[in-house]
Amino acid sequence: MSEQPVRVVVADDQQVVREGIVMLLGLLPGIEVVAAAADGEEAVALVAEHAPEVVLMDLRMPRCDGVEATRRIRAEHPGTAVIVLTTYADDDSLFPALQAGARGYLTKDAGSEEIARAIRDVRSGAAGLSPQVQARLLERLSAAQPPPAPESAPASEQAPEPGLAPAPAPASAPGPLPDGLTAREAEVLGLIAAGLSNQEIAARLFVSVATVKTHINNLFAKTGVRDRAQAVGYAYKHGLHHLMG
């Protein structure tokens, strides 16, 4: 039995661009465009009507912009993921979109394969950030203050799990950690920001996937983020993106 196609709503206020995106997506296997919106208000209504898995969302739109539409969709329809598809990759556009709940962020020079990959990624629960956007974030925020001497992790975090090699010490953090994060939780957050999956994080830290999930649940609860895309935004905002283990 073949997998059901990903149902997508496209939102862009420029008709030519909107129709072009719809046409492009129509050529991609495994993707079905169920509706197209000319502004954020219409996008929210169409999500309520069609219950798509993914919305491709422009940012600059009349009546209701992409950030507010993303916030409303994520609050009212948590089963729908939002990928921002915009001309802008500046911090003032990027961070508000991620904080509103966008799981992906692409610029409009993205090719069809990149768009399709981002749709698949966010449908599976991963982040769909383009390499260009990640590079932009690193360029903008790598000038954060140099980290001090490494902090010692609590003994419970340093102890190796049965059958696993001793975990490496957490990377140094840039000053006091926000929201009560432990050094290990901050390191896991940095690895999420680097785009690693739970399995890859577990392999990097020599711990089990269950332990990684526990760290992620704890840091999500402490920071108030709802998903991995917001966690990436939080990591960059607080200068934790360089903690790679």
Q: Is the pLDDT of residue 58 over 60?
A: yes
- Amino acid 226: pLDDT: 86
- Amino acid 187: pLDDT: 87
Report percent pLDDT > 90 for the chain: 31
Residues 6+ apart with CB under 8 A from 161: 167, 207, 208, 211
Alpha helices in the chain (DSSP H): 15-26, 40-50, 66-76, 91-100, 112-123, 131-141, 155-158, 183-193, 198-205, 209-223, 228-237
pTM to 2 decimal places: 0.60
What is the average pLDDT across 30-39? 95
At 160, the pLDDT band (50, 70, 90 cuts) reads low
Residues 6+ apart with CB under 8 A from 49: 35
Q: Is the pLDDT of residue 1 over 50?
A: no
Q: Is the pLDDT of residue 128 over 90?
A: no
- Amino acid 119: pLDDT: 92
Least confident of 94-103, 156-165, 180-189, 191-200: 156-165
